[in-house]
Amino acid sequence: MKIACLLADGFEDIEALGTSALLRRAGYQVDFFSVNGNDKVTGSYKTVVTDLLMMNWLLPHEYDALFIPGGRAAYFLRENEEVRKVVKEFHKLNKWLFSICAGPTVFGMLGLLENKKYISFPGTEKEMGEQAIRVEKKAVSDGKIVTGKSAGAVYDFVFEIVKNVEGEEALENLKKRMYY
């Protein structure tokens, strides 16, 4: 599986990097894309990511999934027209959409969570749409959308992704390799 992760200054460090590290451990390729076109992006806790591709190079048909982490950056991402266009294209192509914490607001504000189960950071419910169905779990999936609650749910979020993409056996194998 090939995953595009969108980053902007203020991303939540563990949500972006912890999730990506665990997904890579599961055998997935995760590429980081700079939304602002900067050659480095700084997280909420000052972690600097430099191995970046530019978002204008992102070709959705070349990826299986789009990943949007939370943090302050999520509020910028949901208002960014290029991000909105990319998310819509991934959705139109029936690709996987992954997001955690405040990141699911990007999907919610585009109407992608209507009549779908989701979870996000507490207090973001009003951005999800009137028909979105909040489920109080650490990670929730509905169709090809997988959402996570917060930084404390990174493992659960990745496990939900692996279980949905590859199945229970792949998830159990990942847990065994991690000594979880």
Residue 2 DSSP symbol: E
Domain of 36, in residue numbers: 2-178
Residue 82 pairs with which residues in a beta bridge?
A: none
* Spatial contact of 66 and 38, defined as CB atoms under 8 Å apart: no
CB-CB neighbours of 82 under 10 Å:
15
Report the Cα 159 to chain-centroid distance in Å: 13
Q: What is the pLDDT of residues 20-75, one digit of tens each?
A: 999 999 999 999 999 999 999 999 999 999 999 999 999 999 999 999 999 999 99
Q: What is the pLDDT of residues 133-180, one digit of tens each?
A: 999 999 999 999 999 999 999 999 999 999 999 999 999 999 999 998
CA nearest to 86, candidates 116, 61, 103, 109: 61
Q: Tell me the pLDDT of the chain averaged across its residues.
A: 97
Write b or e for each residue in 165-179: b if 16 or more Cβ atoms lie within 10 A of its Cβ, otherwise e.
Answer: bbeeeebeebeeeee
CA distance 49 to 14: 12
Number of domains in the chain: 1
Write b or e for each residue in 109-135: b if 16 or more Cβ atoms lie within 10 A of its Cβ, otherwise e.
Answer: bbebbeebbbbbbeebeebbbeebebe
pTM confidence score: 0.97
At 93, which CATH number? 3.40.50.880
Residue 98 pairs with which residues in a beta bridge?
A: 67, 146
| Residue 24: strand, helix, or coil | helix
Residue 3 DSSP symbol: E
Residue 148 pairs with which residues in a beta bridge?
A: 100, 139
